[in-house]
Amino acid sequence: MSCPICEKRKAKRFCPAKGESICAVCCGTEREVTIDCPADCPHLVQARRYEEQHPREFAREEILFADVEIPPAMIRERQPVVSGLGFTVLKFARDNAALADGDVLAAVTSLAEAYRTLGSGIYYEKPPQGPMAHGVYAALAAFLEDVKKQEAERSGFPSLKDAEIFLLLVFLWRVGKHRTNGRPRARAFLDFLQAQYPASAEIQKEAPKIIVP
């Protein structure tokens, strides 16, 4: 039986996403591109294991705000906020199965840009265009405003500074960039976040755990 994708090679590898066998070449080239692979696909799991053992090297221009240095002490101090950001992404992903790593990175990029402008005293907001990325952007923005409001009510003034939020968003983006493989339908970063938190069925009942990238 020939592969239903290329219609040339023999179909020897079962694809759980398509419910039929395809050839190994199409599995490798179309995985997380045109094929929406489930996280438990054995071929996807094997591919991710290989990617973890052979991490990509990124050019400086590929890194968001490459000149920005993030103090490790600040990340440790603000771990609950970082955890809350990841938790917010997962709650959105639970209700939006089409969400991919690229949507999350686009949302975090736009939000980081917005908070960066606050440092100059001129707030400029440009949410991402795609519906998934825009939804994550809105959810993360709402979470951060809630954190700032809670801290202001508790201490009398907002102790979480906009400059800190900017750095936390850049940190989250860099973690995601190194966890994903960049394919259009990749969800390696989302699966990484999921591993840091309770199962999705309990996501609303459990308190966020700390992300350890």
- pLDDT digits over 117-176, tens only? 887 777 788 999 999 999 999 999 999 999 988 887 776 555 788 999 999 999 999 999
pLDDT above 50 (res 93):
yes
Q: Which residue has the higher pLDDT, 182 or 156?
A: 182
pLDDT above 70 (res 105):
yes
- pLDDT digits over 186-204, tens only? 999 999 999 887 654 445 4
Q: Which pLDDT score is estimated for 14?
A: 97
Q: Which pLDDT score is estimated for 212?
A: 38
Q: Which pLDDT score is estimated for 159?
A: 79
Q: Which pLDDT score is estimated for 172?
A: 97
Q: Which pLDDT score is estimated for 208?
A: 47
Q: Which pLDDT score is estimated for 145?
A: 92
pLDDT above 60 (res 206):
no
Mean pLDDT, range 103-128, rounded to an integer: 90
Q: 50-59: which pairs have CB atoms within 8 A and are 24 or more residues apart?
A: 51/181, 51/188, 55/178, 56/178, 56/181, 58/177, 58/178
Give the mean pLDDT of the chain.
89
Q: Which pLDDT score is estimated for 58?
A: 87
- pLDDT digits over 10-45, tens only? 999 999 999 999 999 999 999 999 999 999 999 999
